[in-house]
Amino acid sequence: MALSVIFSAIPHSYSQSDDSALVDATAIVTRIVATLTKSSIQNGDLESASHYSKFTADFYAHQINTLRAANVESADDLHLALIDIHSKIASNSVGTVSSDLDSVFLYLDKFPKSGQTSLVVANILSIADQSYQTAVTENIPQYHIISHDLVQESSTLFDSDNSFDARQKGEIQAFFVDLKSQINDKKEFVPVGKLITTIQRDLTGTDIVADQANLYNVIRQLYQQTNSALQAGDYEKAEELVIAAYLDNFEYLEADIEVVNVDLLHTMEINMREELRAMIQERKTPEEIAAFIDNPILKDLEKAEGLVANLKRDTTQSADAAPIQPKLLNPMGSATEEQKSGVRGEIDFIRNTLETMLVQYQQGDYSAAFTSARTAYLDSYEHVEIPLRSIDPDFTLEVELQFAQLRQLINEKAEFSEVQEAAIQVRRSLDESERLVTGTGHLAPAIAFTSSFAVIFREGLESVLILGAILTYLEASRNTKYKKYVYHGIILAIAATAITWVIASYVIKISGANRELIEAIAALSATAVLFYVSFWILNKIEHKKWMEFVKAKVWQASTTGGVTVFVLLSFFTVYREGFETVLFYEAMFGFAKYMELYVGLGFVLGMGVLLAVYYTTRKLGKRLPLKMLFGLTMGVGAYLSIAFLGNAIRELQTLDLLPFTSMLGIIPRLDINLAKMTGIYPTLETVIGQIILLAVYLVASAYVLVIRPRREEKIASLRKSRKEIDEFEAH
């Protein structure tokens, strides 16, 4: 959120013709924070270096189009260098970072100086203001250092400016002294922000509302240039201009417009981002496009500008008015149903586009691969960002950087494995993006709760019945002295299960980039165990067979007569089920993200029902409907194994270990959380795997429940008939 707030507050210029001041300010800010990065590297403080390098890369990325428009030499080379530096620091590969930063400083030396010191200082102070606010509200010390150094540099620059008379200069210098004091004392951000605003007003001789209005003028100017490009037949240039109007300018106005008229904002977004670009891509006539720009785009822009200006004027008229608080983030899943549906469609398009990009890159068609990567971001993920940014702006920026790294690798013609890994990182983020925008819904948590309950109940039922039978036998045979050893084994098994869970969680936690592979392996293992256990239960579904199994266990322990036997019997009875439970829950937690509470509630209820089963069988001596219970748990186990298998295959597809064949439009496209809980995805590979497993279950169930009983009944009937014939002949 921090970087998003900062960049959304940066004025692109304090007057329509002062982009040169912003270029100058960009160079100064980049140099200051890059210097902090280098100092942190030299001091071995990689955490701070990572904060600084990410700030620099993201800040510079938001200014790149302005730098290009100003024809700044090596602007793009510097952009790539900053991204590379952050990537190296994030991966702890800092061997060449210091020399890379020296190259950055050489690039910055070539940036043109604007000569407009007051405007440069005003721009730098805007960044310092927002950086300080973030430092205070989110307790990020590196941001406090950034704001401190930016203010110090602003003060130094102002001291070198001789364009003010003595009275004005003395007043502003006094303000700077007060500002530096407040920042050093870490005062609240509201008075610091007011002081910065006062300095900016005195520096530029304008009001903040007027400054904001210039951003609207920049957009108007870009649309004028668009019309000129269209008249010249240059549709590609026209598209670049309308993209700049929206991405590089209008996005910084969205927060204010949303406050005054959210419906107007949404209409303008669609018209500027989608409708206008579609008209240009479809090569509509210049007259048609110019008419659409004039009405509704420019008319809506004028309306929005007036509403925002009135709001700001009304806010400043009252001296007692409370300061405007930072906008609160929207909760997960707060997007509209239309937005959720749109996000799912865009994410599906991105997945398919990334698959195409990898094929193109592997075939050596680097230009087409770059176009596909750019399309995946600009034509699709930009739409995802609109609702996502209001929920988790920091994650949004993280994904933007992932897309940028992917494009960079393609431009550099890197090894295919590197491009593939970058695409995998983007795929990982797509599921999280969808989760944040769509929320968990109601059905997916219900399935998570039910599945959790079924797992613990299914795993615990066998243990409860066996242990209950052992204790009952010991009481009936007056061998109660062995009961405490049974309890000792239970306690040891519970402790061993807890240790196993901690170790399993730790292994998954430290797996890092291989997390998806670990989760896929866990899911496949859970599938295999559920498959085995389901058929084991199926073979003992008859009450008679179950009782024979239990009696054999009890007889084995009692005839041995040793204390250790009872401890080990109860230990392995509980731990075997506990180990399986750990495996199942680790797999389930990997897929039930943001639904952990429902999984936990299902676990608690399952434990409660197991205690009730124990009380029913031990204290009340009731006979349970084992056939029904075992049939139910077998069905649940089959369902879970099919769901786990689907998720495992998809994780392997994400890692490019299995092929990805889309079946969108043929197989239902479920919400991400519902898909995770059912394992149903619109890909050929997941569908085939699940159908095969389901077929095995159906065939086996038909054999055990229908064919085999009929065969046994037929054999028994033949034996009975044979016996009757033998008796008749004997008489």
Dump the DSSP string for 248-280. Answer: TTGGGTHHHHHHH-HHHHHHHHHIIIIIHHHHH
Could you give the CA distance from residue 505 to residue 491 in angstroms, rounded to a whole number? Answer: 21
Query: Helix, strand, coil: what percent of the chain each, to 5?
Result: 80, 0, 20
DSSP labels for 459-492? HHHHHHHHHHHHHHHHHHTT-GGGHHHHHHHHHH
Count of domains for the chain: 4
Residues 118 and 163: beta-carbon distance below 8 Å = yes
Rounded-to-integer distance, Cα 512 and Cα 48, Å = 21
Based on the domain organization, do 247 and 386 belong to the same domain? no
- Do residues 113 and 259 both lie within one domain? no
Burial class (CB in 10 A: 0-12, 13-18, 19+), 298: middle
pLDDT at position 207 is 41
Q: CA-based diameter of the chain, in Å?
A: 137
Query: 410 is written with which tokens?
Result: 């393609």
Rounded distance between C-alpha atoms, residue 682 and residue 140, angstroms: 42
Q: Which residues pair with 664 in a beta bridge?
A: 667
CB 89 within 8 A of CB 97: yes
Mean pLDDT by 10 residues, the chain (731 residues): 43 48 90 93 91 86 80 83 85 85 89 86 86 80 92 91 76 81 81 75 56 71 89 88 74 76 85 87 92 93 87 54 48 85 90 92 90 82 81 82 84 89 90 89 88 83 73 68 79 87 72 62 75 59 50 59 68 77 79 87 90 75 62 74 88 86 86 87 91 86 75 73 66 59
Residues 238 and 146 in one domain: no
Are 448 and 399 part of one and the same domain? no
pLDDT of res. 91 = 80
Q: For residues 228 and 299, state if they share a domain.
A: yes
Residue 349: CA count within 13 A, CB half-sphere: 19
Amino acid at residue number 688: I
CB contact at 8 A, 602 and 452: yes
pLDDT at 9: 41
Token pair of 281, please?
A: 């891509």
Answer yes or no: are the C-beta atoms of 570 and 490 closer than 8 Å: yes
Q: How far apart are CA 720 and CA 162, in angstroms?
A: 118
Per-residue pLDDT at 441: 82
Residues 601 and 495 occupy one common structural domain: yes
343, 335 contact by CB (below 8 A):
yes
d(CA 407, CA 313): 44
Residue carrying structure tokens 């003992």: 540
What's the CATH code of the domain at 110? Answer: 1.20.1420
The amino acid sitting at 65 is N
Residue type, 289: I
> Residues 705, 612: one domain?
yes
Both 578 and 637 in a single domain? yes
Structure tokens at 722: 């044979």
Residues 202, 260 within the same domain: no
Please state, in angstroms and as integers, the Cα–Cα distance from residue 455 to each residue in 119, 446, 549, 610, following that order. Answer: 65, 14, 22, 12
Is position 430 within any domain? Answer: yes
Contacts of residue 546, Cβ cutoff 8 Å, sequence gap at least 6: 465, 540, 626, 630
What CATH number has the domain bearing residue 429?
1.20.120
Q: What is the structure's pLDDT at 290?
A: 93
- pLDDT value of position 621: 56
Tell me the sheet residues that pair with 667: 664
Residue 500 lies in a domain: yes
Domain for residue 369, yes or no?
Answer: yes
Q: What angle do CA 138, 142, 144 make, to 5 degrees?
A: 70
Distance, C-alpha 180 to centroid of its chain: 38
- C-alpha of 512 from chain center: 15
Query: Which of left, alpha, beta for 244 (phi over 0: left; psi -120 to 50: alpha)?
Result: alpha
This model's pTM is above 0.75: no
Is 251 part of any domain?
yes
pLDDT of residue 257: 85
3-state SS record for 28-94: HHHHHHHHHHHHHHHCCCHHHHHHHHHHHHHHHHHHHHHHHHCCCCCHHHHHHHHHHHHHHHHCCCC
Q: Two tokens at 239?
A: 């598209």
223: domain range? 211-316
Phi-psi region of 621 (alpha: psi -120 to 50; beta: other; left: phi over 0): left
In a domain, 625, yes or no: yes
What is the pLDDT, as a whole number, of residue 147?
92
In a domain, 730, yes or no: no
Q: Give the pair of three-digit tokens for residue 27.
A: 């160079």
Q: CA angle at residue 669 from 663 to 670, to 5 degrees?
A: 145
Q: Are 369 and 361 in contact (CB under 8 A)?
A: yes
Give, to the nearest 10 degrees, the angle between helix 515-539 and helix 684-702: 20
Please indicate, yes or no, if residue 35 is contained in any of the structural domains.
Answer: yes
Answer yes or no: is 719 within a domain: no
Q: Would you list the DSSP string of 439-450?
A: ---SHHHHHHHH
**Is residue 433 located within the same domain as residue 500?**
no
Same domain? 165 vs 35: yes
Per-residue confidence (pLDDT) for residue 630, from 0 to 100: 64
Beta bridge partners of 662: 683
Both 621 and 604 in one domain: the answer is yes
